[in-house]
Amino acid sequence: MTATAGSDGRPATISDVALLAGVSVPTVSRVLTGSARVTPGKQDQVERAIAQLGFRPNPAARQLSSRAAGAIGVLTADTSIHGYAETIRGIEEEARANGTAILITVIESAEEERVEQAVEAVLSHPLDGVIALKFDPAGVAALRRLPRSLPVVALAGARDHSRSQVLLAEKEAGRALTAMLLDLGHRTVHHVRIPSSSRNSGRAAGWRRALQDAGRAVPPPLDTGWDPRDAVRLGRLMALDDQVTAVFCGNDEIAMGVMRGLIDGGRRVPDDVSVVGFDDHPLAPLWTPSLTTARQDFAALGRLGVRLLREQLAGGGRVCRSLEPSLVLRASASPPRSG
Amino acid sequence: MTATAGSDGRPATISDVALLAGVSVPTVSRVLTGSARVTPGKQDQVERAIAQLGFRPNPAARQLSSRAAGAIGVLTADTSIHGYAETIRGIEEEARANGTAILITVIESAEEERVEQAVEAVLSHPLDGVIALKFDPAGVAALRRLPRSLPVVALAGARDHSRSQVLLAEKEAGRALTAMLLDLGHRTVHHVRIPSSSRNSGRAAGWRRALQDAGRAVPPPLDTGWDPRDAVRLGRLMALDDQVTAVFCGNDEIAMGVMRGLIDGGRRVPDDVSVVGFDDHPLAPLWTPSLTTARQDFAALGRLGVRLLREQLAGGGRVCRSLEPSLVLRASASPPRSG
DNA sequence: ATGAAAGCGCTAACAC
DNA sequence: GTGTTAGCGCTTTCAT
């Protein structure tokens, strides 16, 4: 039971196996791929030889002649942000169930050079197709540079008719969350906006819509990056403003930061200020007070994306699907103190 | 400016480029790889032809003849757990800086079949080497099945002299955290244990050591999985026991769950019960009360892992490096109420 | 500096 | 069923 062929350290090849098994190379290939039947006796000898040599088919050679990579590329921004991480988890899960691996490339920023680099990286590997997370401008830019000939599916972001896509229907949830706050008696609802693929993400659009529907002024949204520590600063700032009694945050991690800042600034949540988030982060129910939010099934987004890509590879056309978030009412939103 | 060669949809090959540029195939290869100088004039024609045809070298063919994949495999458990996610982020970052992509395969559990499947998946792709996260039993099992001939580095877990490895020196931090609690006046410190590569993770060993050093009885550790909701249940249970005044949790997310359970059970943190975590999760400083913990630089772990792999690929030998966590004292630990 | 020829390790096409 | 013959699209000798 040796792992090498002959005396040298060179890995065994299919012809080593053929030689040892006393059959031809294509016969070995046949038992490898199961593409045709082989006499049980030879089948056995081949399997024995494979085991004895510790033979593994060379993936590159295999792909060069068969044209299937068995891998899909994933283009994404920072993988440690909850929504991205969960989506990737879903992609990996579904891909693996299908015997497919995923090759991840992070787009560091929306700068031309970074985007180009990420796309280059993806295209320089043997891939059957690509899934691009289009939560942010970097994803949008990358998507634009992907060759038309490559099977691609876009996840989230604005509708793009030129490719298969899974949409996140966030607008209605954003509207409902805001309307709920208004119904509670708040005069207006402030919004802390996270980076998004377009000027207004679905959630922000829903927020705006709810305020307009209720005939309220729309306060200028506050912008933040992904780091919750930035949100703490914004929370401290908002603590200074008595007009702020309800805040709709772009996501749960930002909401947690804002709550912290508000509390640092001497305000109580939800007694003085109500705070709601978006996405339903796993820690949202554990927070004190537990966080009211809209649940997004990012893992399902990822899984669905892989399925659409698979359909496309099987010759299907461009498809568009949509996923709806659901409201999760918890303790961080309540009526304003004095109305 | 067409993206295809000829009238069919077939992607352009190097010989299409050679034909159009009026040079030989190897010459095109030379400008592609920069392996040898080419007359500026021809260089120009070749580049023009490449652009005109939208030519991209076929990665599989390239790899078959040159033997470098430009990708490394990553074997990991659930990617959405903080420590794993951050480590992967570090790996990706360092790999990308080096023009290398990462192919991620998740090991679903430590079951033989799952492990085998994950290893198969990794080996069936063109890879220069593999980095395995050895935080848990699944990682350990996978590592054992990886062929000796493949360049591999192990991240975290118990020392394994047969491969390059980056160790997390958690024992001392676990000891210090526990000793700190004891110094505060707590009679003993309870431990909630997360899954780990060996029966006792470094952090748990440090906890045990501190108690033994202080001559205290070692209470049986409580076991939990990764889901913070399980920790909430444990917290509720612990709230019932007056003997519990200090809890050292296997990681921060678990600590947050335990705190929630404790509070649900009517105990105050840290007034009635002190709780400390491990890892310094990004939300740890934002929690109420802010969480005392030991900071681990998982991203550095990942980056270092890639560097060791690179050294190995360049012909270097097996190396072992170690990373030390640092204590972060915040508000969740305080002296016990009555001493 | 450049082209002709060989070969990377496998699968596909075609005889038998 | 099985072996023989051709490639897949590149890089790498090796002449020139």
B54 in contact with nucleic chain C (CB within 7 A) = no
User: Are A232 and B96 a contacting pair at CB < 8 A?
Assistant: no
- Paired with A303 in beta bridges are none
Cα gap A226→A237, rounded to integer Å? 18
* B7 pLDDT higher than 50: no
Q: Say how many Å lie between the first and final Cα of chain B, rounded.
A: 80
Cα gap B163→B141, rounded to integer Å? 14
Cα gap A258→A243, rounded to integer Å? 16
Measuring from the CA of residue A43 to each C1' atom, give the nucleotide at the shortest distance: D1
B19 in contact with nucleic chain D (CB within 7 A) = no
The pLDDT, as a whole number, for residue A200 is 73
Which residue would you say has higher pLDDT here, A197 or B131?
B131
The pLDDT, as a whole number, for residue A148 is 86
* B4 pLDDT higher than 60: no
Percent residues over pLDDT 90 in chain A? 88
**Local confidence band at B278 (pLDDT 50, 70, 90 cut-offs):** very high
CA distance B288 to chain A (A): 7
The pLDDT, as a whole number, for residue B130 is 97
Specify the pairing of strand A164-168 against strand A320-323.
parallel
* A106 pLDDT higher than 50: yes
**Separation in Å: D7 C1' and B126 CA:** 21
- Please tell me if residue B289 touches chain A, with a CB cutoff of 8 Å: no
- pLDDT tens, residue by residue, B305-324: 999 999 999 888 899 999 99
- Paired with A131 in beta bridges are A74, A153
* B339 pLDDT higher than 50: no
Q: Mean pLDDT across the stretch A103-116?
A: 95
B33 in contact with nucleic chain D (CB within 7 A) = yes
Kindly give the residue spans of alpha helices, DSSP state H, lying in chain B: 14-21, 25-33, 40-53, 59-66, 82-97, 112-123, 137-145, 170-183, 202-213, 228-239, 252-264, 298-313
A36 in contact with nucleic chain D (CB within 7 A) = yes
pTM over 0.85: yes
User: Are A286 and B232 a contacting pair at CB < 8 A?
Assistant: yes
The pLDDT, as a whole number, for residue A6 is 45
The most distant pair of C-alpha atoms in chain A lies apart, rounded to whole Å, by: 90
Pair B257, A286: CB distance under 8 Å: yes
Which residue of A1, A131, A283 is the best one to mutate when testing the B interface, meaning the one whose CB has the most B CBs within 10 A?
A283
**Local confidence band at B10 (pLDDT 50, 70, 90 cut-offs):** confident
Specify the pairing of strand A326-328 against strand A293-295.
antiparallel
Cα gap A165→A144, rounded to integer Å? 14
Cα gap B61→A65, rounded to integer Å? 9
CA distance B125 to chain A (A): 5
Percent residues over pLDDT 70 in chain A? 97
- pLDDT tens, residue by residue, A161-184: 999 999 999 999 999 999 999 999
The pLDDT, as a whole number, for residue B70 is 92
**Local confidence band at A198 (pLDDT 50, 70, 90 cut-offs):** confident
- pLDDT tens, residue by residue, A301-312: 999 999 999 999
The pLDDT, as a whole number, for residue B5 is 42
User: Strands, DSSP E only, in chain A?
Assistant: 71-76, 101-106, 129-133, 152-155, 164-168, 190-193, 222-223, 246-249, 274-276, 293-295, 320-323, 326-328
- Please tell me if residue B48 touches chain A, with a CB cutoff of 8 Å: no
Phi and psi of A76, rounded to 5°? -150, 165
Pair A4, A12: CB distance under 8 Å: yes
- Overall residue count recorded for chain B in this entry: 339
* A1 pLDDT higher than 70: no
Which residue of B116, B256, B286 is the best one to mutate when testing the A interface, meaning the one whose CB has the most A CBs within 10 A?
B286
Angle made by CA atoms B95, B100, B102, in degrees to the nearest 5: 75
Which residue would you say has higher pLDDT here, B316 or B12?
B12
**Separation in Å: C2 C1' and B242 CA:** 86
- DSSP character string of B39-74: -HHHHHHHHHHHHHHT----HHHHHHHH----EEEE
Pair A228, B286: CB distance under 8 Å: yes
Closest residue of chain B to A74, computed from CA coordinates: B103
Neighbours of B37 (CB within 10 A): 9
- pLDDT tens, residue by residue, A23-69: 999 999 999 999 999 999 999 999 999 999 999 999 999 999 988 89
CA closest to C1' of C1 belongs to: B38
The pLDDT, as a whole number, for residue B8 is 55
| Mean pLDDT (chain A, rounded) | 93
**Local confidence band at B2 (pLDDT 50, 70, 90 cut-offs):** very low
